[in-house]
Amino acid sequence: MPSLDYSSLTATAIAASLVIGYFLGSIPFGFLLTRMAGLGDVRKIGSGNIGATNVLRTGNKPLAAATLLLDALKATAAAVLAQHLFGSELAGLLGGFAAFIGHLFPVWLGFKGGKGVATYVGMLLGVEPIMVAVFAVVWIGIAWLSRYSSLSALVATLVIPVALWILGRQDAALVTSAMTVITYWKHKTNIERLIARTESKIGQKG
C-alpha cells in the first residue's frame, strides 16, 4: 500500500484534525447516558472511569452496550471526517488518534476519562477497517483461553501495530503503537492484578 503524503497536509489541516478528533473523542457518553438514565454519576462506582465496563457495573446491560458502541463510533467519526475534509489518510489517523486521547482525557471531566479500548477499535474502523476483524479474532481467542477481558484487550492492542507493520502500513503502525503504549499505561492496575492473579474473570462477580 502507498505511504502517506505528508506534503499534502498543511499545518492548519493537521491542527484542525487534532482539534476535531479531540472534541469528538471527549464526549463522555458513559457519563451522559448513566445520568440521563437516572443512575447517578458513573465515576462514583467501580473503577470510577466512564467506559462501558464501568457502566456495566450499574447493572444496565443495554446502557453499557450503547456506551461501548458510541465510544467506538466517536473515534470512527473523527477519523472519517478528518480524512474527508482534508483528503488525506494522515488527517484520518491524526483525527482518530486525537479522539482516543480525548476519550482518555476529556476536558469536560477534569481530564479523567475511560481506558480507551472501544475508542481504539473505533479509530481502526475509520482508518484500517480490516484491523477490526484482526482485533476481534485476537480478543475472542485470548478471552476464550484466559477468561480475562483486560488481558484480551492488551494482547489485541499489541498485535495490531505488528500486523499493520507487516502489511506495510508503517504510518498506521506508528500511530497505533503510541496508542498501545498509552493503553498499557491506562491498564497498569489491571496488569498488576493479572500478575497477582487477582484480576476478575469474565462472568465473575465481585
* Residue 205 resides in a domain: no
Work out the mean pLDDT of the chain and round it to a whole number.
91
Q: What is the model's pLDDT at position 57?
A: 85
Confidence grade of residue 204 (pLDDT, cut at 50, 70, 90):
low
Number of neighbouring beta carbons within 10 Å of residue 112: 13
* Residue 56 resides in a domain: yes
* Residue 61 resides in a domain: yes
Question: What would the pLDDT profile of 52-78 be if each residue is shown by its tens digit?
Answer: 888 888 888 999 999 999 999 999 999
Which grid cell sits at 41?
454519576
Is 206 a residue whose pLDDT tops 70?
A: no
Which grid cell sits at 23?
472534541
Confidence grade of residue 176 (pLDDT, cut at 50, 70, 90):
very high
* Residue 60 resides in a domain: yes
* Residue 38 resides in a domain: yes
* Residue 1 resides in a domain: no
Choice between 202 and 36, residue whose per-residue pLDDT is larger: 36
- pLDDT over 90, % of the chain: 74
Choice between 48 and 117, residue whose per-residue pLDDT is larger: 117
Handedness of CA 127, 184, 66, 134 (dihedral sign): positive
CA gap 182, 176 in Å, rounded: 10
- How many structural domains is the chain composed of? 1
Domain, as residue range, for 159 = 6-196
Q: What is the model's pLDDT at position 100?
A: 98
Span 128-140, average pLDDT: 97
Question: What would the pLDDT profile of 73-113 be if each residue is shown by its tens digit?
Answer: 999 999 999 999 998 889 999 999 999 999 999 999 999 99
Give ∠ CA 157-160-166 in degrees, rounded to 5: 155
* Residue 106 resides in a domain: yes
| pTM, rounded to two decimals | 0.90
CA gap 198, 190 in Å, rounded: 9
Taken as a whole, the chain contains a residue count of: 206
* Residue 206 resides in a domain: no
Q: What is the model's pLDDT at position 6?
A: 52
Is 148 a residue whose pLDDT tops 70?
A: yes
Span 177-193, average pLDDT: 96
Q: What is the model's pLDDT at position 139?
A: 96
Between 170-186 and 117-127, two packed helices, what is the crossing angle to 10 degrees? 170
- Of 129, 107, 128, 86, nearest to 24 (Cα)? 107
Is 16 a residue whose pLDDT tops 80?
A: yes
